[in-house]
Amino acid sequence: MLENLAKIKEQFSKELNAVNSKDELEKIRVAFLGKKGLVTEELKNLRNLSADEKKTAGMQVNKLKQEIEQAIIDHQKILEEREYQKEIENAEVYDYSIPSEKPVGTLHPITIVQKQIEDIFKTMGFIIEDGLEIQTEYNNFEAVNIPKNHPARDMQDTYYLENGQILKTHTSAAQNTIMRKYGAPNSGETLKVLFPGRCFRNENIDASHENTFFQLEGMMIGEDISISNLIYFMKVLLTEVFERDVKVRLRPGFFPFVEPGFELDINCAICGGSGCPTCKQSGWLELLPCGMIHPNVLRMGGIDPDKYTGFAFGLGLTRLAMMKYNIKDIRLFNSGNLKQLKQFVR
């Protein structure tokens, strides 16, 4: 019997070596391990042996069976690997450099810049508000301390509508509405609001003038809001907006809705403050107007100026977008020119 086993083993090795496909392998498996397979037959023959012989021979047969099983598994792996190899070798080589055709959608550059700034202000606890574009003269002028006969109210700059309303000339037109909506803050709290918006100026358009443009305005009102706080906030916020350590400088500036009013300059990014043509050698760039909210404006907004103070600041969003993207011609924004607008992917 042992001889038989040796023969079977030899025969198996010989046949296995000739196997080149999974089908052939299966045939061999059946031939040796199947119900009528050579090894199975040997197992069946065991019953004809004595108890002692059975033990030794049994072990031998089982060993052979395990060896054959393992050999088949191993051979199967080799075959599989060969197939993978073949598939890979025959694979079509794709040209990764072929451009994909999916067009790119874009947001408007104003939306992109506005969102970035809104996000910065949100992290500092500002509410984001909105205002109407068609405003009353009261909201746009009187409520922000620009009385009748003020030069800013001369007809030529402002779009007047048939019903006496106007297209808002600045985002400050929303101040009164916002103050009335939220009211004075609770003791110890501050009202922090950011309100971007579209503004209008009745003038002819050229590369640097638009009749329709965006501004962004913020204000902070509380019991103890001071000039010191204003400078601090502007510095922190502008450092975030410009993603660099911004130096700020305040100069007196006159705006009817603030007192004191300031022009805020930032150190020139191009020369770092040493003076260059961009900053007219001064090292500073005029960036935004700001100031302590005028007591009359607070009062008209229903907030007691003897108890509360606040600051406000405005930023030309369109101008900021032009700075950010190095846009030379302001007419791009309202052009609907897809060749240009499709570039603003982020």
Partner 1 sequence: MLISMNWISEFTDLSGVDKKELINRFTLSTAEVEDIYEMGKNIRDVVVGKIVEIKDHPNSKKLHLVKVDIGSEVVDCVCGAPNIFVGAVVPFAKFGGQVGDLEIKETKIAGEISRGMCCSEKELGISEDHSGLMILDDSYPLGTDIKEFMQLDDIIFEVDNKSLTNRPDLWGHYGIAREISVLTKRPLKPLDVVDTSVFKELSPIDVKVEDTDKCYRYSCIAVKNIKEKKSPINMKIRLTYCGMRPINLLADLTNYLMMELGQPMHAFDYGNVSKIRVKTFSEPIEFLTLDGNMRKVDTDTLMICDDKEPNGIAGIMGGELSEITDHTDSVLLESANFDATTIRKSSVRLGLRTDASARYEKTLDPELTVPAIERFLKLLLDIDPGAEVFSSLTDCYVKRYDTISIEFDKAYVDKYTGIDISSDQIEETLTALGFELTRNQDSFKVTVPSWRATKDVTMKADIIEEITRIYGYDNFEVKSTKSLLTPVRHSIERNDEYRMKLLLAERYAMNEVHSYIWYESKLNKEMGIQTEKNIRIINSVTAENDTIRSTIIPSLLGFVYKNVDTNPEMGMFEIGRVANGLKEDGLCDERKRLGLVLASKKMSEKEVYFKVKEILEQLIFVVKNIKPSFSPNPELTKYNYVHPVNSASINLEGCEIGYFSVLNPRVRNNIDKKLNVVFAEIDIELMEQIDVKPLSYKEVSKYPGVTVDLSLLADKSMRYENIAAAINEYQCEYLQSYHLVDIFEDEKLLPGKKSVTIRFDFVSMDRTLEGQEISTMVDELLAILKGKGIELR
Closer residue to partner 1 in complex, CB, 37/190: 190
Closer residue to partner 1 in complex, CB, 84/138: 138
Residue of 190, 159, 178 lying closest to 302 (CA atoms): 178
| Encoded tokens for 60 | 């031998």
* DSSP bridge partners of 212: 200
Subset of 83-142 contacting partner 1 (CB under 8 A):
102-108, 110-111, 115, 118, 122, 125-130, 132-134, 136
The verdict on 239 binding partner 1 (CB under 8 A) reads no
The verdict on 334 binding partner 1 (CB under 8 A) reads yes
The verdict on 337 binding partner 1 (CB under 8 A) reads yes
Residue with tokens 């405005």: 314
Strand 258-267 versus strand 166-167 pairing type: unpaired
Among 155, 243, 245, 326, binds partner 1 (CB under 8 A): 155
The CA-CA-CA angle for residues 300, 159, 286, to 5°, reads 70
Q: Directed axis angle between helix 2-17 and helix 22-33, to 10°?
A: 170
Subset of 270-329 contacting partner 1 (CB under 8 A):
280, 292, 294-295, 305, 309
Contact 321, 302 (CB under 8 A): no
Binding span for partner 1 by CB under 8 A among 19-27, 44-52, 59-67, 152-160: 152-160
The verdict on 249 binding partner 1 (CB under 8 A) reads yes
Size of the site for partner 1 (CB under 8 A): 86
CA distance 295 to 301: 10
**Per-residue contact track with partner 1, 189 to 228, x per CB under 8 A?**
xx-x-----x-x-xxx------xx-------x-x-xxxxx
